[in-house]
Each structure stands twice: as structure tokens, then as C-alpha cells.
Amino acid sequence: MAVETRRATPGTLAPNGAVQPLLRTALLATAATLGISGAAAAVLSAVSGFLLYQYTHARGVWGTDEPPTGTAEEVSFTSAEDNMRISGWFFPASGVSRGPAVVLCHGIWTGRRECLPLALRFRAAGYNVLCFDFRAHGLSDGRFTSVGYRETNDVIGAVQYLKQRPEVDPARIGVIGFSMGAAATIQAAARCPDIAAVVADSAYATFVDAAKYSFSLVTRMPHFPVAPIALQCAKWMIHVDAEQLRPIDVIGRIAPRPILLTHGMLDEIVPVRHAYTLFKAAEEPKELWIVPGAHHVGARDEDPDGYFLKVEQFLREALNPAGALLPTA
């Protein structure tokens, strides 16, 4: 009986249907590669999402200090546009009726108590003062912080609340912000003409650029590829596009109201070049105060006396038109 012999060639099936060795090896290698890549992508996504949650979820009360008895009133108000309930302290000026007011805006992951020492100084100098917990901080409502995006509405809500207080002259309201609060303050002043003067301490010009600079320091994770994935996660988790966090695009709208930009030369969170960039984009009247040897919002904490004198002098001139009563620092 004759037997027919067939020579198998690479890429064909042998009579029994088995894949030939060369093709089988290639398919296995491809499957393994895809499996590893898929697993790696899943791990990276999970890590990035976890980091995003860790750094944006709601924080409880920060600090333990309380205002001295009789100096402050516990208050609440709603943010502009989205009506988030915001909690804070109102400090009526000592011995002054219908005077200027200052809103103090803390940085991320802290709360109103970050601003308490400065609030007491301004109150003693004749200012009404409001300091509050941003959304997702302290006693305020909210699930996530947006690092300055929606916090802008909180600042505007604070100003609208002050305008209703009989102790406050609505034409003489200044806002001081720190870090995230500084970015929110710039954006709020660009939208809200009721803000008569701005002090922005350690503000970022663009969030994405600042995040590239400090991501590894803050999270102890490599910037690439974790940070880009985390920023993408932010779009669906907290509904914020980080590319829109750009105070530099709106700071020019604050004029002709005065703005003071201050920054530490050794800032390791937001590089000092952001202050120069913002100052260049701002319109007159404007002032830039770079503090040698200071870190992130360090000038306020390392030299509180000098810091208060500098900032209060700026606000005194900005909030007191000719003939108005000048508070005494």
C-alpha cells in the first residue's frame, strides 16, 4: 500500500491539527507579552487611582487650636454656583463698625486653623475676618477636593457672605490665599468684582507644571507614568480636568484691583518661577515679594511678625480709599 508523505511548512497545520513549533512559540510569546502588559497596565491604573483618592478625598478637622473665647462666631454659608455648604469662623473687628474685611483661604489638606494666628492679628488691627474650611475639609461638605478648581466657588461664596454682614463695608473686602487657596483666590478675583484686593502666597501658575515638579516628592512615586494616569483618573473620579487649573490665564482680569504675589525662594512644592510667571501675566497695580530662604508658605510661619506687617500694609493701602478710617496694625 502506498503511503503519501506530506512535509509540513512553517505556519501550516500538520495532519493532526497541531500548531507547528515555530508558530506555537511565537503565539505563546505574544500571549505572555500581552498578559504582562495588561497586568502592568492594570496595576498602574490601580496605583494611580489609589493615589488620586488618597490625595483628594475629604479630610476631617485639622489642628486643635480654637479661637479665644468671645473673638469668633461659628458660621456657615454656601459656595457660589454649586451651593456647597461651607463652615467657618467670623471674627468681628474689635472696636470698629462697618470696616474692611479679610477672607483667609488655607492650603490643601489643612483647614481654617492654619489661618487662625493671622486671623487674630487682623482682627486686632481693626479688620473683620472670615476663615473657613474649603469643601472636603474640616466641617464643610464635599467628598473630594479639586485643588483649586471648585474651591474658587467657595471663595466667592465667602465674599458674598461677608457682603451681608452689617459689620463689613462691602467695598473693602480683601482675600488672602495660601497654596491651593492662593490659586483659588486668583481665579475667584478674576470672576468676582467684589474682591477689592488679593494676596496670593505660593500659588501655582498651572497645576500640571507644579505637579510635574513636586509629584515624586509628595507621593514618593515616579512622575511617569503614574502622574499622567492619575490625572486621567481625576476626570472621571472627581470630574476635574487638571489642564483647566491655570490661574495664569485669568490673573490679568483682576486689574485695576491690586494684587500682591509672594513666594518662597526655596519652595519645594511650587517652584518660585511660578510667581514670576504669574507676575508677568498680571496687570498693574501689582507687587511681587520673593522671600529668600523661605519654603512653601514659609515666610508666613518663619517670620509671622514681618509677614503680617508686609501684608497688612499692602491691604491697608488697597482697602482704604481717601478719607476712610485706617486700621492700626
Q: How far apart are CA 317 and CA 322, in angstroms?
A: 9
In a domain, 278, yes or no: yes
| Residue 65 within a domain | no
10 Å Cβ neighbour count for 163?
14
In a domain? residue 39: no
Residue 97 pLDDT: 77
Residue 310 lies in a domain: yes
Read off the CATH number of the domain in which 206 is found: 3.40.50.1820
Q: Sign of the CA dihedral 199, 205, 208, 210?
A: negative
Q: Work out how many domains the chain is built from and give that number.
A: 1
Q: What is the reported pLDDT for 288?
A: 98
Specify if 295 maps to a domain.
yes
20 pLDDT band, cuts 50/70/90, is low
Domain extent, residue 294, equals: 77-319
Strands (DSSP E) found in 246-309: 259-264, 286-291
Task: List, in sequence order, every residue forming a beta bridge with 201; answer none if it has no partner.
Answer: 178, 262
Interatomic CA distance for residues 218 and 119, integer angstroms: 28
b/e sequence 192-202, b meaning 16+ C-beta within 10 Å: bebbbbbbbbb
> Which DSSP symbol is given to 20?
P
Smallest CA-to-CA distance from 318 within 202, 195, 203, 155 is with 195
Exposed / middle / buried, residue 272 (Cβ in 10 Å: 0-12, 13-18, 19+): middle
Does some domain include residue 258? yes
54 falls within a domain: no
- Does 137 reside within a domain? yes
Residue-level pLDDT at 200: 98
Distance CA 298, CA 218 (A): 17
Write the CA distances from 183 to 19, 37, 141, 187, integer angstroms. Answer: 62, 38, 20, 6
Instruction: Report pLDDT digits (tens) over 199-235.
Output: 999 999 999 999 888 777 776 667 667 777 877 888 8
Q: What's the confidence (pLDDT) of residue 221?
A: 67
Distance between CA atoms of residues 189 and 286, nearest Å: 14
Residue 176 or 238, more confident: 176
The one-letter amino acid code at 196 reads A
Q: If you average pLDDT over residues 285-289, what whole number do you get?
A: 98
Mean pLDDT, rounded, for 23-44: 53
Instruction: State residue 130 phi and psi, 5-degree precision.
Output: -125, 120
The Cα-based distances of 139 to 85, 183, 210 in angstroms read 9, 22, 28
- Position 41, amino acid: A
